[in-house]
Amino acid sequence: MTDYFLGLDSSTQSLTGVIIDFDGRKIVISKSLPFMEYFPEYETDHGVIKQEDEKVVHSYPLMWVEALDTIFELFKEENVDLSSIKAITGSGQQHGTVYLNDKFEEQLKNLNPDKGLKQQLSDVFSRETAPIWMDSSTNKQCQEIREALGGKKKTIELTGSDTFERFSGPQIRKFFQENPEAYNNTSIIHLVSSFMASILLGANAPIDHGDGAGMNLMDIRKKNWSDKALNITAPGLKGKLPNLVESFKIIGKISPYFVNKYGFNSDTIILPWSGDNPNSLIGVGLIEKGKIAISLGTSNTYFGFMDKPRTDPRGESHVFGSPTGDYMSLICFKNGALTSEQVKNEFKLSWKDFSDILEKTPPGNEGKIMLPYYFPEIVPQVLNPKVYRFGFDENDKNGNVRAIIESQLISMRLHSQWTGEEPEVIYATGGASKDKAILQTIADIYQVNVIQFETSASAALGAALRAAKTYYDDTGKNLSWSEIVQDYTVAKGKMISPRKEYKQIYDDMVLLYEAYENYILRSGKNPEEHRQKFIDIYFKNK
């Protein structure tokens, strides 16, 4: 008997499914359905609804549901033996909320396999669209909730994050304020993750602690709903939310709809889905202390395993539950690849030229410091974008190339200090992680080994591995997390070691960079003298 496990990822732009053959230690199939390509009739722009107000970003939950039927049809066409799948779970884009009326559960229980999900679930929504994580229209509600919870510090202490526009609580409050009647007609509010899990389960599924932590509604330490946060957010909210559970709990068996329609085994177990970041944590093998991941994509993210719920006193970052039952940090920097690309384009460089310059210029950049807010920044919060340069100007090609990379990475080191983690190895993922000169700069700045990690479909893979872990725990095989992830999460690239001779210069440069942040963003003292000293020590007569 083969043990297959399925992980699904309902992300902003696509639905992805990865099936693993656990004993064979291989991926049986990995399929991704971009919404724009497969479901053009919804007329989305990469999965989101085009709206005039660019702060308002929604999507269609019915489209996500339709994609579920389509992906199973594709698996069938490829002759994948769906009856060998022992357990299923998934990953959802975080924070998004789905609003359902009182028909939802009844209709889920009575799904007819001769018809499609779209046809049978089109009238279960009390709000046709779902606000997603890209929505930033709830500034007012963020302020109201933060204030009512006793200020920023108390909000962070209670929920693990300050209030953020994209978080579910502020979004729910906005819906209640702007559309009280539709709010009253809402029987249950799901996250993307728990909504999709409900379809597979044929009943309302709970929310797991990983994704629940992205709502400003869960007590991050007790891992239950905070009555205080619920009451402040909207009336009667407790009665409209599913329960919270551990990510690894079995929540039931697959709905007969999928058994009859696609040939799943009726014993296939369903786990709660989680957010994409908690799933990716598993998908890149971060199951214990000592490793962190840096994803260099459109935006740059830093995430890592945490054994205790430490919170960021500045309120810029987040703490979510990890699927292992522990915690994880997540820090999101907006000025990532697009910012480097802007510098590359300003000097009409190719990526190869850019990388060559990085390689041949000196670490520490001769004391040239940049605060690179080409776009509004999340960490540290900068609402009005502006680029600040100290010791050079916008015409200095080499200086700008090195400055943009060093500033992003030094800022990351500085703003991840609150996690208390001192990684032994950093997994670098995302487009820019293919560049050796960038990997070397990460290694030098952090003074730890860095390895490039291919992560196509890491969230879906993480989900499939979570499914395997729970199944084997349940059947008594009791495999440890490291036994589960080994082989699936092996970094393929070459390990890059830090150059010890640059330790001191970067330790000093982090302090100098922080002084410049304080100067520009927090009205601190001008650190020019400090910068001159830095140049004297490391660059005079060299």
- In the complex, the residues that contact ligand XUL under the rule CB under 6 A are 11-12, 93-95, 133, 166, 214, 275-277, 330
Reading the block at residue 194, the tokens are 């728990």
Cis peptide before 380 (omega within 30 of 0): yes
Identity of residue 289: K
Q: With respect to ligand XUL, which residue has the nearer C-beta, 94 or 429?
A: 94
Give 477's DSSP letter: -
Identity of residue 167: F
Q: With respect to ligand XUL, which residue has the nearer C-beta, 97 or 440?
A: 97
Calculate the dihedral angle through the C-alpha atoms of 481, 485, 491, 497, rounding to the nearest 10 degrees: 10
Identity of residue 322: S
Closest CB 6 distance from ligand XUL, rounded Å = 20
Identity of residue 69: D
Three-class secondary structure of residue 273 per DSSP: coil
Q: With respect to ligand XUL, which residue has the nearer C-beta, 264 or 303?
A: 303
Strands 369-373, 425-429: pairing is: unpaired
Reading the block at residue 72, the tokens are 């199973």
Closest CB 458 distance from ligand XUL, rounded Å = 12
Q: With respect to ligand XUL, which residue has the nearer C-beta, 11 or 138?
A: 11
> d(Cα 200, Cα 10) in Å, to the nearest integer?
13
> d(Cα 104, Cα 82) in Å, to the nearest integer?
26
> d(Cα 388, Cα 399) in Å, to the nearest integer?
13
> d(Cα 60, Cα 122) in Å, to the nearest integer?
11
Identity of residue 225: W
Closest CB 94 distance from ligand XUL, rounded Å = 3
Q: With respect to ligand XUL, which residue has the nearer C-beta, 57 or 108?
A: 57
Question: Sign of the CA dihedral 442, 448, 449, 454?
Answer: negative
Question: What is the 3-state composition of the chain as percent helix, strand, coil, each rounded to the nearest 5?
Answer: 40, 20, 40
Q: Is 302 within 8 Å of 346 (Cβ atoms)?
A: no
Q: With respect to ligand XUL, which residue has the nearer C-beta, 276 or 444?
A: 276
Q: With respect to ligand XUL, which residue has the nearer C-beta, 44 or 94?
A: 94
HSE (side-chain half, CA atoms, 13 Å) at 49:
19
Closest CB 96 distance from ligand XUL, rounded Å = 8
Q: With respect to ligand XUL, which residue has the nearer C-beta, 160 or 364?
A: 160
Residue with tokens 């210029």: 361
> d(Cα 40, Cα 47) in Å, to the nearest integer?
10
- Where on the phi/psi map is residue 476: left (φ > 0), alpha (ψ -120 to 50), or beta? left
Closest CB 164 distance from ligand XUL, rounded Å = 8
> d(Cα 201, Cα 206) in Å, to the nearest integer?
11
Residue with tokens 């389960």: 201
Using CB atoms within 10 Å of the CB of residue 121, give its burial: 0 to 12 exposed, 13 to 18 middle, 19+ buried: buried
Q: With respect to ligand XUL, which residue has the nearer C-beta, 120 or 139?
A: 139
Closest CB 167 distance from ligand XUL, rounded Å = 8
Closest CB 55 distance from ligand XUL, rounded Å = 15
Q: Identify any residues that bridge with 48 across adjacent strands, giving them in sequence order.
A: 45
Reading the block at residue 457, the tokens are 């479909």
Closest CB 349 distance from ligand XUL, rounded Å = 29
Q: With respect to ligand XUL, which residue has the nearer C-beta, 330 or 465?
A: 330
Closest CB 453 distance from ligand XUL, rounded Å = 17
Beta-carbon contacts of 437 under 8 Å, excluding residues fewer than 6 positions away, are: 355, 356, 358, 359
Q: With respect to ligand XUL, which residue has the nearer C-beta, 94 or 335?
A: 94
Q: With respect to ligand XUL, which residue has the nearer C-beta, 95 or 415?
A: 95
Q: Kindly report the CA angle at 285 between 281 and 291, in degrees rounded to 5?
A: 85
Closest CB 430 distance from ligand XUL, rounded Å = 12
Closest CB 431 distance from ligand XUL, rounded Å = 16
Closest CB 341 distance from ligand XUL, rounded Å = 20
Reading the block at residue 524, the tokens are 């601190």
Q: Which residue is nearest to ligand XUL (CB)?
A: 94
Q: With respect to ligand XUL, which residue has the nearer C-beta, 296 or 468?
A: 296
Closest CB 506 distance from ligand XUL, rounded Å = 28
